[in-house]
């Protein structure tokens, strides 16, 4: 679980994790954007018990997952892992912790939005059991989030909604 003192450190983890987007010309701007989740929102998630942090041997955050309750769903706002810790199961462990929490608190789904065609996004979540929520499906809340993300400047058609049924 995240601690209040972690909240100010998590945006830097997100910035570091976003550097990988420089590999994709159409999304390289994300490496220079402000973090998707501001410190105040991380703190709210920490207080709600819906922020998980992975730390290194010096107790410094190397990854986090911040989520919020949205009705009967636990919605993942952001998962970020510093480049040096990527590929070591940190993201997978954070998602497992969030899913365990969700199942123990009687949520029906864990949901998220992510990039549809980025190799380390949608395919990663599919391996963990998440399924794509098609744009034609009547899951209004998730599709509204996708539309909001696209309206805020992300390329139209680049985002998707996913859910894991618990």
36, 66, 16: which is closest to 154 by C-alpha? Answer: 36
Its CATH architecture, for the domain 4-165, is 3-Layer(aba) Sandwich (3.40)
Q: pLDDT tens for residues 53-101?
A: 999 999 999 999 999 999 999 999 999 999 999 999 999 999 999 999 9
Token representation of residue 85: 């810790």
**Are 146 and 161 within 8 A, CB to CB?**
yes
146, 84, 76, 82: which is closest to 115 by C-alpha? Answer: 146
Per-residue model confidence (pLDDT) at position 8: 97
User: In this prediction, what percent of the chain has a pLDDT beyond 90?
Assistant: 87
Per-residue model confidence (pLDDT) at position 143: 85
| pLDDT at residue 139 greater than cutoff 70 | no
| pLDDT at residue 137 greater than cutoff 90 | no
Residue 137: φ, ψ to 5°: -75, 145
């Amino acid at each position: 679980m995240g601690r209040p003192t972690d909240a100010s450190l998590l945006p830097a983890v997100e910035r570091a994790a976003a550097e990988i987007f420089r590999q994709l010309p159409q999304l390289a701007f994300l490496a220079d954007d402000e973090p998707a989740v501001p410190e105040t929102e991380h703190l709210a998630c920490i207080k709600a018990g819906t922020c998980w942090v992975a730390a290194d041997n010096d107790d410094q955050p190397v990854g986090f997952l911040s989520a919020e309750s949205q009705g009967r769903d636990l919605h993942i706002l952001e998962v970020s892992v510093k480049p040096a810790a990527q590929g070591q199961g940190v993201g997978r462990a954070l998602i497992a912790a969030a899913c365990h929490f969700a199942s123990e608190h009687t949520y029906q789904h864990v949901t998220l939005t992510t990039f549809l065609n980025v190799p380390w996004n949608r395919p990663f979540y599919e391996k963990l059991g998440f399924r794509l929520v098609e744009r034609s499906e009547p899951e209004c809340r998730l599709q509204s989030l996708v539309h909001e993300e696209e309206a805020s400047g992300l390329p139209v058609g680049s985002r998707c909604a996913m859910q894991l049924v618990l």
